[in-house]
Amino acid sequence: METQTLSGKQDPVVRRITTSDVIDALARGVRDFQAAPLYGLVLGGICALIGIAVIATLFFAGMPYFAYPIAAGFALVCPSLAAMLYEVSRRLERGDDLSFGAILRTVTGRSEVRWMGFMTIFVLIMWMYQVRLLMALFLGYSGMSATLPAFIHTVLTTTPGLMFLLVGNVIGTILSIVLFSLSVVSFPLVLERDVDFVTAMITSVRAVTLNPRPMLLFGLIIGVFLLLSVLTGFLGLVFAMPILGHATWHLYRKAVAPEALPATRD
């Protein structure tokens, strides 16, 4: 029995992939970045500047303890930030116009892309709220009012601080896995096809559960790229964002079968 989307169409067909497909998708992502570097450099540069500005604002506002959670939160919102890169890869694949206006119109014209973006922002807000809750539970008010050196000392040398760090990272990892499963295929899918965002997220989860090892490898690659970007003061995002964005499009191409053409009558 065929399953259908909310609009009555047949669900996208998910295919099995291998770790070799992940490596190939990454290589194709690098080639797309080389073919259209301006878009990647601009988007990566904007993301880097946003990251630097947010961290600087936290220090200026006396809330440096939020720097690490915010830096980790970049992993949660990256799929929505890379939407334009998916469209660049799609146009390179088809040989279509690469003008900024055409790409922007396509991305902003898809309401389902916006809904997916709202979903990632919601998860980021949940992430920040749970950090604040855990901080209150384990460290109390003193943890939020301490200077950065005192806060780091408390977190790394006391039992409540270590528990805060452990529980926070476990919850953050779970949220990252959930959002990765919901978004790794869904963003490119709603950008290319006329499907609702719920169907797209279900398709993404199906792709992850059907291909746990390759998807785990891709998730780890994303994590390493983002970690290196944070360690370089977000400057690494200038190159990490475009490579990962283009690679995600090609991984989607491998994990989801092309849309079937409607049958014609003689």
In a domain, 146, yes or no: yes
Query: So what's the pLDDT on residue 211?
Result: 97
Half-sphere exposure of 142 (CA within 13 A, CB side): 9
Query: So what's the pLDDT on residue 1?
Result: 37
In this prediction, residues 197-213 reach a mean pLDDT of 94
Instruction: Identify the residue whose tokens are 């291909």.
Output: 211
Query: So what's the pLDDT on residue 223?
Result: 86
Q: Above 90 in pLDDT, residue 101? A: no
Contact criterion met (CB below 8 Å) for 246 and 52: no
DSSP letters, 187-206, are HHHHHHSS--HHHHHHHHHH
In this prediction, residues 225-242 reach a mean pLDDT of 88
Q: Which residues pair with 14 in a beta bridge?
A: 256
Could you tell me which residue, 225 or 125, shows the higher pLDDT?
225
Interior angle at CA 114, CA 109 and CA 119, nearest 5? 165
In a domain, 239, yes or no: yes
In this prediction, residues 45-56 reach a mean pLDDT of 85
Query: So what's the pLDDT on residue 141?
Result: 66
In a domain, 266, yes or no: no
In a domain, 120, yes or no: yes
Q: Which residues contact 170 (CB under 8 A, 6 or more apart)?
A: none
Query: So what's the pLDDT on residue 142?
Result: 62
In a domain, 3, yes or no: no
Query: So what's the pLDDT on residue 13?
Result: 93
pLDDT band at 36 (very low <50, low <70, confident <90, very high): very high
In a domain, 9, yes or no: no
Percentage, residues of the chain above pLDDT 70: 89
The count of structural domains within the chain is 1
In a domain, 131, yes or no: yes
Query: So what's the pLDDT on residue 76?
Result: 64
Q: Above 60 in pLDDT, residue 209? A: yes
Query: So what's the pLDDT on residue 252?
Result: 96
pLDDT band at 9 (very low <50, low <70, confident <90, very high): low
Average pLDDT, the chain: 84
Q: Above 80 in pLDDT, residue 262? A: no
Structural domain containing residue 58: 19-255
pLDDT band at 146 (very low <50, low <70, confident <90, very high): low
pLDDT band at 32 (very low <50, low <70, confident <90, very high): very high
Give kind and range of the element (H or E) at residue 173. Answer: helix 159-183
Percentage, residues of the chain above pLDDT 90: 32
Q: Above 80 in pLDDT, residue 26? A: yes
In a domain, 86, yes or no: yes
In this prediction, residues 239-256 reach a mean pLDDT of 94
Query: So what's the pLDDT on residue 266?
Result: 38
